[in-house]
């Protein structure tokens, strides 16, 4: 794989070379076609390890999709290709499982969730580069309700953004992620509870001005329909921040890229 530094650019394929523009890297990428064919990968003993990884990748994809769907309420604050990074986290969690055989290892985020904490869904504006506050999270015993608190919060100098910002508001999303396991009888990966529909809810604060006055901010998110998470699952708490340059006549002038968001806690 190569990156373009010269004047020659094309999008698509030219002979055995393909080219595309990576919007995250902001570079043109060139790569050659080829590699082992599907039949060889499926049957050759030399590709046994590849087959194991491919099978586990299916489980990782299920797990990553649940997180993406559960945080849909923050979609306007996400930027970049988050799925590939979530797959990497799933693989880290899988590697921590020393009980299952390679090729059908479980993704037990209920046991090993710390690789998720701090994950920012904004590749362009990483959460820790934008927000310098110290939010507090608390959760009820049945894990159905999460509170995000910013006590005595002085917003001045707590944010870093490339444009002028005059106002902000806080998002809190909570979602449920069950463990993903290998079903030996069916020969597939599935969630520990089936069927499982991604469960998430998002609450948003009022717009607030950026100033030097201390305020107490509290955002509470509760699962609807008296839903209570079961064992072998985690509740992910994700905080988002949206910015506006100004608010006139009740209308916020939201900045380009809107804001940022990240996972703050797993329970």
The structural domains of the chain, with segments of one domain joined by +, span 2-32, 44-266
| Separation between Cα atoms, residue 211 and residue 158, nearest integer Å | 10
Of the pLDDT bands very low, low, confident and very high (cuts 50, 70, 90), residue 2 is very low
- The pLDDT assigned to 213 comes to 96
Who has greater pLDDT, 195 or 224? 224
Mean pLDDT of 57-83: 95
47-66 CB burial, b ≥16 within 10 A, e <16: eeeeeeeebbeebbbbbbeb
- The pLDDT assigned to 8 comes to 62
Among candidate residues 230, 228, 255, the one with its CA nearest the CA of residue 243 = 255
Who has greater pLDDT, 35 or 82? 82
pLDDT in tens, 108-157: 999 999 999 999 999 999 999 999 999 999 999 999 999 999 999 999 99
Picking from 16-30, 130-144, 165-179, which range would have the lowest pLDDT averaged per residue? 16-30
| Separation between Cα atoms, residue 211 and residue 198, nearest integer Å | 38
Output the pTM of the full model. 0.85
- The pLDDT assigned to 262 comes to 99
- The pLDDT assigned to 113 comes to 95
- The pLDDT assigned to 165 comes to 98
pLDDT in tens, 209-247: 999 999 999 999 999 999 999 999 999 999 999 999 999
Distance, first Cα to last Cα, the chain: 41
Among candidate residues 181, 214, 219, 173, the one with its CA nearest the CA of residue 75 = 173
- The pLDDT assigned to 135 comes to 98
- The pLDDT assigned to 159 comes to 98
The DSSP-derived string for 75-107 is GGG-BS-HHHHHHHHHHHHHHT--SSPTTS--B
208 forms beta bridges with 168
């Amino acid at each position: 794989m190569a990156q373009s530094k010269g004047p020659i650019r094309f999008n698509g394929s030219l002979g055995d070379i393909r080219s595309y523009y990576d919007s995250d890297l902001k570079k043109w990428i060139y790569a050659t076609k080829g590699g082992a064919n599907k039949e060889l990968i499926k049957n050759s003993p030399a590709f046994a390890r590849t087959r194991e990884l491919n099978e586990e990748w299916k489980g990782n994809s299920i797990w990553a999709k649940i997180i993406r769907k559960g945080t849909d309420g923050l979609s306007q604050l996400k930027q970049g290709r988050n799925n590939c990074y979530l797959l990497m986290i799933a693989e880290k969690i899988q590697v921590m499982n020393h009980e299952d055989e390679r090729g059908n290892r479980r993704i037990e985020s209920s046991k090993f969730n710390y690789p998720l904490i701090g994950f920012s869904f904004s590749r362009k504006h990483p959460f820790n580069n934008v927000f310098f506050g110290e939010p507090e999270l608390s959760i009820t015993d049945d894990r159905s309700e999460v509170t995000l608190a910013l006590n005595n919060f002085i917003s001045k100098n707590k944010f870093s953004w490339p444009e002028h910002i005059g106002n902000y508001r806080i998002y809190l999303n909570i979602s449920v992620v069950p463990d993903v396991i290998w079903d030996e009888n069916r020969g597939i990966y599935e969630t520990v509870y089936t069927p499982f529909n991604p469960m998430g809810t998002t609450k948003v604060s009022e717009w607030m001005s950026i100033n030097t006055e201390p305020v107490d901010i509290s955002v509470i998110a509760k699962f609807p329909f008296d839903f209570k998470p079961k064992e072998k699952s985690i509740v992910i708490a994700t905080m988002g921040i949206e910015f506006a340059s100004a608010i006139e006549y009740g209308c916020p002038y939201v900045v380009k890229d809107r804001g940022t968001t990240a996972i703050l806690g797993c329970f």
